Amino acid sequence: MFFTYLRRELRRRRKAALVVASGLALGIALVIVVNSVSNGMGRAQEKVLQSLYGLGTDMTVTKAAAPASGDAQRPRFRFEAKDSGSKDDQSSDRVMAQGFTTLPASTVTEVAGQKGVSSAVGGLSLNVVKVSGQFTRGQFQQGGGGAEMRGNPGSGPQGRVEGGGADFDVNHYTVYGTDVSRPELGPLTSSEITSGRTFRATETDAEVAVADSAYAEEKKLKVGSTVTIKGVKYQVIGIATASSGDAAANLYIPLKQAQTLSGEKDKVTTVYVKATDSQQIGAVKSAIRKNVPGTTVTTSADLAKTVSGSLSTAADLAAGVGTWLSVAVLVAAFLVAGLLTSSAVSRRVREFGTLKALGWKSGRVTRQVVGEAVVNGLVGGALGIALGLAGAYAVTAVSPTLQAQLGGSVGGAGGPGGGGVFLGGPGRQAAKSLEVALTAPVSATTIVLAVGLAVAGGLIAGAFGGWRASRLRPADALRRVE
Higher pLDDT, 305 or 293: 293
Higher pLDDT, 428 or 480: 480
pLDDT of residue 27: 81
Average pLDDT, integer, range 40-51: 67
Taking only the tens place, the pLDDT of each residue in 307-332 is 655 556 666 666 666 667 777 777 77
Alpha-carbon torsion angle 354, 356, 378, 455, nearest 10: 150
Taking only the tens place, the pLDDT of each residue in 353-386 is 677 777 777 777 777 777 777 887 888 888 888 9
At residue 137, does pLDDT exceed 60? yes
Taking only the tens place, the pLDDT of each residue in 218-242 is 999 999 999 988 889 999 999 998 8
pLDDT of residue 318: 63
In 3-state terms, what secondary structure has residue 96? strand
| pTM for the model | 0.57
Of the candidates 32, 4, 3, 20, the one whose C-alpha atom is nearest the C-alpha of residue 384 is 32
Taking only the tens place, the pLDDT of each residue in 95-132 is 888 776 889 999 999 999 999 898 899 999 998 887 76
At residue 264, does pLDDT exceed 80? yes
At residue 142, does pLDDT exceed 70? no
Average pLDDT, the chain: 74
- Give the start-to-end residue ranges of the domains of the chain: 2-51+310-479, 71-78+86-144+164-293
pLDDT category at 86 given cuts 50, 70, 90 is low
DSSP secondary structure letters along 280-310: GHHHHHHHHHHHSTTEEEEEHHHHHTTEESH
Radius of gyration of the chain (CA): 36
Specify burial of residue 146 (Cβ count, 10 A radius: 0-12, 13-18, 19+).
Answer: exposed
Task: Write b or e for each residue in 184-218: b if 16 or more Cβ atoms lie within 10 A of its Cβ, otherwise e.
Answer: ebbbbbbbebebeebbeeebeebebbbbbbebbee
Of the candidates 196, 178, 168, the one whose C-alpha atom is nearest the C-alpha of residue 253 is 178
377 to each of 93, 348, 420, 453, how far by Cα in Å? Answer: 71, 20, 56, 8
